[in-house]
């Protein structure tokens, strides 16, 4: 699909270099050109793409040293590795050809409804973030191995779908599953798939989730979803976060994937409410977290050097303090969410105190403090002042959190584990009691408890 300008330039040049002789336009250009070359041999000789592009650019520059040369690349100039290599070596005039994407659109449009489309090179297929509302165009499929990679990625979304294969000669409709079984390949092969069906698929994208929530919250959508607010959804965020934690504890990957989806739904739900109120949208959410991760990882995205994970954490906390304008450790403590469980909040606040140097040397020092708090609670238990009992009980719990932290144990995780263990052993007692628990003595129940322990519960 050459323009008149491109054809004229090729005919008037001293020499024409084609990226590959496999291009559909190779024969007519060969007939018109004074001298004709291709870079096909470099495809065979080069060990990798970087070497291929460098050798190709050197060949073109060597010819251009003593004659006028036209070099033709496949597809888009902006995505051509050869053009990038040439740009580093010399200046050149650009003669646009017909848009490869527009040509492919026209061909595929004969058999499918295209509309908006996404275009990506086959080598970058794993980076494609599929938008189900747009057609997908995959360019530069130049062999069965690349075709297999493309098929494996796309089949998870387009199972059983037909695609249009465009190679400039025998463009045709074929099942996606047959993509890597074709007998011949050319550098310019392009695959076009129609937009995905709205529902009834086995695999969906993040964009699908956003679209679903938009529909649920649109006029005529779901009555329950329409009446929700940030405040009414608060409890569900907490519940779903705990469900995720439970799946992690159970070491169940399938359950974890499912629960993470439920938690992600809450994020998208809040973002949709925010968009409709003119507050923020999902793009603000992703932009903010991306910017935050880049800023807080200067050892990855900047020039800072670190020696280990501890230094990463120290940098992270210092950057957070600067971001939030905190000038004291007390301010960072106040920033720990009050809605967090009291056990976890105590743990996090103690860690911030430790970062400021206010900490026990080891767990034994913290343990002595816990025993001191235990004695103070015992003294108050003999009285009737519930306010003092509560205060001393809180001091004791706080002290034990310190002990566990210094021992390298997360108290929230430890308590959750102990609670699961208790539940399992109690279930064992009920199952093996042989009578109502109310009819058993404490000694009998304790005997069953010991049996549960021996059973590994």
Q: What is the largest CA-CA distance in the chain?
A: 108
Q: Which of 392, 391, 393, 411 is nearest to 401 (CA)?
A: 411
Q: Which of 409, 405, 414, 375 is nearest to 392 (CA)?
A: 375
Q: In this structure, what token pair is assigned to residue 37?
A: 């070359």
The length of the chain is 457
The structure tokens 């250009």 sit at 29
Per-residue pLDDT of the chain (457 residues; tens, 9 = 90+): 678 888 889 899 999 999 888 777 788 888 889 999 999 999 888 888 889 999 999 999 999 999 999 998 876 677 788 989 999 999 999 987 776 677 777 777 777 777 788 888 888 888 888 888 888 888 878 778 888 999 999 988 888 888 888 776 677 888 888 888 876 665 568 888 888 877 777 788 898 999 999 999 999 999 999 999 999 999 899 899 989 988 998 889 999 999 999 999 999 999 999 999 999 999 999 999 999 999 889 888 888 888 888 788 878 778 877 777 777 878 888 877 777 788 888 888 888 888 888 888 889 999 999 999 999 999 999 888 999 999 999 999 999 999 999 999 989 888 888 988 899 999 988 888 888 888 888 898 888 989 988 888 8
The structure tokens 């120290």 sit at 314
> Rounded to whole angstroms, how far apart are CA atoms 220 and 273?
16
> Rounded to whole angstroms, how far apart are CA atoms 178 and 188?
18
Indicate the CATH number of 206-273 among 2.40.50.1020, 3.40.1190.20, 3.40.50.150, 1.10.287.1080. Answer: 1.10.287.1080
Spell out the alpha helix ranges (H) of 130-279. Answer: 144-155, 206-216, 223-226, 230-250, 253-276
> Rounded to whole angstroms, how far apart are CA atoms 233 and 259?
16
Query: pTM of the entire structure?
Result: 0.63
Domain 101-193 fold: 3.30.950
Supply the DSSP symbol for 135: E
């Amino acid at each position: 699909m050459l323009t008149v300008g491109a054809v004229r330039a090729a005919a008037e040049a001293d020499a024409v270099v084609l990226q590959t002789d496999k291009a559909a336009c190779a024969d007519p250009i060969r007939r018109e050109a004074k001298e004709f070359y291709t870079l096909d041999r470099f495809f065979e000789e080069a060990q990798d793409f970087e070497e291929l592009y460098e050798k190709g650019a050197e060949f073109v520059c060597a010819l251009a040293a003593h004659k006028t040369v036209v070099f033709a690349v496949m597809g888009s100039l902006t995505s051509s590795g050869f053009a990038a290599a040439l740009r580093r070596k010399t200046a050149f005039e650009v003669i646009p050809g017909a848009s490869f994407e527009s040509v492919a659109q026209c061909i595929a449009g004969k058999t499918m409804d295209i509309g908006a489309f996404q275009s990506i090179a086959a080598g970058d297929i794993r980076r494609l973030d599929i938008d189900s509302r747009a057609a997908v165009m995959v360019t530069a499929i130049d062999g069965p191995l690349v075709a297999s990679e493309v098929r494996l990625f796309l089949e998870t979304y387009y199972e059983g779908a037909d695609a249009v294969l465009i190679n400039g000669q025998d463009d045709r409709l074929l099942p996606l599953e047959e993509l890597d079984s074709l007998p011949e390949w050319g550098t310019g092969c392009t695959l076009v798939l129609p937009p995905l069906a709205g529902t009834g698929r086995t695999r969906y994208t993040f964009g699908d989730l956003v679209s679903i929530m938009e529909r649920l919250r649109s006029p005529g959508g779901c009555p329950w979803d329409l009446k929700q607010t940030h405040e009414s959804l608060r409890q569900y965020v907490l519940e779903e976060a705990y469900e995720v934690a439970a799946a992690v504890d159970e070491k169940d990957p399938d359950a974890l994937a499912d629960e993470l989806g439920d938690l992600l739904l809450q994020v998208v739900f809040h973002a949709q409410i925010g968009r409709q109120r003119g507050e923020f949208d999902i793009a603000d959410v992703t932009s903010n977290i991306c910017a935050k991760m880049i800023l807080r990882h200067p050892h990855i995205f900047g020039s800072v050097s670190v020696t280990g994970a501890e230094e990463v954490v120290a940098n992270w906390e210092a950057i957070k303090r600067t971001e939030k304008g905190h000038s004291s450790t007390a301010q960072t403590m106040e920033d720990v969410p009050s809605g967090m469980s009291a056990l976890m909040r105590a743990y996090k606040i103690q860690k911030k105190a430790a970062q400021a140097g206010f900490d026990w040397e080891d767990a034994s020092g913290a343990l002595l403090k816990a025993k001191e708090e235990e004695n103070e609670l015992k003294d108050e238990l003999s009285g009737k002042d519930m306010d003092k009992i509560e205060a001393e009980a809180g001091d004791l719990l706080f002290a034990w959190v310190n002990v566990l932290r210094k021992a390298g144990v997360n108290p929230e995780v430890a308590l959750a584990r102990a609670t699961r263990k208790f539940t399992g052993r109690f279930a064992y007692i009920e199952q093996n009691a042989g009578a109502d628990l109310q009819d058993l003595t404490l000694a009998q129940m304790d005997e069953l408890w010991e049996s549960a322990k021996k059973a590994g519960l």
